[in-house]
Amino acid sequence: MIAKFSYEHRVEFFETDLAGIVHFANYYRFMEQAEHAFFRSLGLKIHGTQPDGTVFGWPRVNASCSFKSPAFYEDLVEIRVSVLRLTSRSLTTSYELYRGKKLLATGEMKTAYCIIPADAKLESVEIPVEYVEQLKNYLESSQ
């Protein structure tokens, strides 16, 4: 069985329109919140600074979301996260958003592991081994 990380988010009023329906752009925020919680659960950081001043992070390369059913004010939305693909420099995570047993949306985000050395430009580099070791436990399929 494939490991999935689960994160819950209570829909706030500001995330909805006048009818109390979640605005589509907020699904991307929900996915990002779940992504950050997923990394924290593994003892990893999504962004930080190394001792030499080099900044690291995971900028988005691509993001998509397919909407199935609306979410509403005060709904408790469960976001399930798994790793779809893991390469030497990029990570693609998949998301399933549920209200109870009702599938609300599915999504994907592709990110690249990058560094910004002091006084230099953003550069894609290989994902550190400690990240790979943790993330591979959530792969949806073998590579």
Instruction: Enumerate the active-site residues.
Output: 17
Read off the tokens for 94.
């998949």
**Kind and range of the H or E run holding 38:** helix 25-41
Per-residue CA distances from 10 to 39, 95, 101 (Å): 20, 17, 16
- Considering only CA atoms, which of 77, 134, 135 is closest in space to residue 107? 77
Query: What would the two tokens of residue 9 be?
Result: 């988010």
